[in-house]
């Protein structure tokens, strides 16, 4: 082997070793101390282990694994690692995409909001499904089918609309014809003649209306003092009521207190009457007996008034024979 070949081989081996060293250093720097998160998609969009993870457009890590989820195989589980200082939060959203048309797929994560709670390592980042090219083509196909149906309907309706438009134009032509123009001109001429003939009456009516408006203004001005007097009267009544309100309230309060005191006295009287009911009954019975005795004595005195001055009763008179 010549010296040049040896030098070339040495250079190639050195470049390969340098590239491997740079790769391993870069990989070690990215992987060491990273936080692992998960997210789920229905369509991964070409994401694979090693694909970059971008947070707000900044590369912060890489995808570790892409596989169907164990609990729900219809979803694709994406496990990715990011730098420990990456501020993922509950409002962050992950989606599959790419930085440019020619770049490889990447996991794009939005920054979320400042008020949202930060996610801890191992938690799941909410995802947004990416509209695929097939989905876009399908929607375009559906839109084209709808457009074709609309065009077909228009083809059916346009002749009818055209006939109606022709009818309308014919009616307009008939309305704006020479005979109708003459009639309109005649009507305008007659209206002008009426206006000229009745202009004096119209002016008189206008003057009368102006006079009435002036009188109305005068009436309004004359009512202003009355309104002001009514306002003053209302103010006087309000002040009077305000002045009488406190004494009335005080009197009502005193009346309530008096009624309450009278009620208390009546309760006490009822208690006293209930306690002395036998004595009261006996006193009433004695009063009734005394009144009967007085009445008997009164009747006796009416029949024998001399009993007041004589202690003995005179003998009965004998009936002559």
**What's the burial of 142, exposed, middle or buried (CB within 10 Å: 0-12/13-18/19+)?**
exposed
CA distance 247 to 258: 16
> Is the confidence at residue 2, as pLDDT, over 80?
no
pTM surpassing 0.75? no
CA distance 152 to 242: 83
**Taking the C-alpha atoms of 13, 16, 22 and 27 in order, what is their torsion angle to the nearest 10 degrees?**
-130
The residue assigned the tokens 């996991």 is: 107
**What's the burial of 44, exposed, middle or buried (CB within 10 Å: 0-12/13-18/19+)?**
buried
pLDDT of residue 171: 74
Mean pLDDT, residues 76-90: 93
CA distance 66 to 241: 88
pLDDT of residue 287: 81
CA distance 188 to 153: 47
Question: Sign of the CA dihedral 134, 136, 140, 143?
Answer: positive
Mean pLDDT, residues 231-240: 78
pLDDT of residue 321: 58
CA distance 78 to 87: 19
The residue assigned the tokens 């892409």 is: 66
Give tens-digit pLDDT for 278-302.
777 787 788 888 888 888 777 777 7
For the chain, give every domain's residue range.
Answer: 26-129
> Is the confidence at residue 94, as pLDDT, over 80?
yes
pLDDT of residue 28: 44
Q: Average pLDDT, whole number, for the chain? A: 79
CA distance 197 to 199: 6
Q: Which residue has the higher pLDDT, 200 or 315?
A: 200
> Is the confidence at residue 305, as pLDDT, over 70?
no
């Amino acid at each position: 082997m010549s010296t040049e070949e040896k030098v070339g081989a040495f250079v190639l081996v050195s470049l390969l070793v340098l590239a491997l060293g740079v790769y391993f250093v870069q990989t070690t720097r990215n992987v060491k101390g990273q936080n692992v998160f998960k997210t789920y998609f229905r369509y991964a969009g070409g994401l694979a282990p090693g694909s970059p993870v971008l947070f707000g457009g900044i590369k912060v890590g890489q995808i570790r694994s892409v596989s169907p989820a164990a609990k729900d195989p219809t979803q694709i589980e994406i496990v990715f690692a990011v730098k420990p200082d990456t501020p993922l939060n509950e409002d962050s959203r992950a989606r599959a995409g790419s930085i440019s048309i020619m770049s490889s797929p990447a996991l794009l994560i939005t920054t979320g909001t400042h008020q949202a709670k930060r996610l801890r390592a191992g938690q799941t980042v909410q995802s947004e499904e990416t509209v695929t090219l097939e989905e876009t083509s399908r929607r375009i196909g559906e839109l084209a089918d709808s457009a074709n149906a609309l065009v077909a309907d228009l083809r059916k309706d346009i002749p009818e609309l055209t006939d109606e438009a022709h009818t309308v134009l014919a009616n307009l032509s008939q309305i704006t014809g020479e005979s109708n123009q003459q009639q309109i001109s005649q009507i305008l001429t007659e209206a002008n003649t009426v206006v000229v003939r009745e202009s004096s009456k119209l002016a008189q009516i206008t003057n009368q209306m102006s006079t009435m408006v002036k009188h109305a203004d005068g009436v309004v001005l004359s009512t202003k003092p009355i309104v002001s007097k009514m306002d003053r009267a209302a103010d006087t009544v309000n002040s009077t009521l305000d002045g009488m309100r406190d004494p009335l309230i005080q009197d009502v309060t005193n009346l309530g207190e008096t009624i309450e005191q009278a009620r208390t006295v009546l309760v006490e009287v009822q208690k006293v009457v209930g306690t002395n009911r036998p004595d009261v009954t006996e006193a009433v019975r004695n009063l009734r007996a005394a009144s009967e005795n007085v009445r008997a004595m009164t009747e006796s005195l009416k029949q024998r008034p001399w009993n007041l001055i004589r202690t003995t009763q005179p003998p009965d008179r004998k009936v002559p024979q």
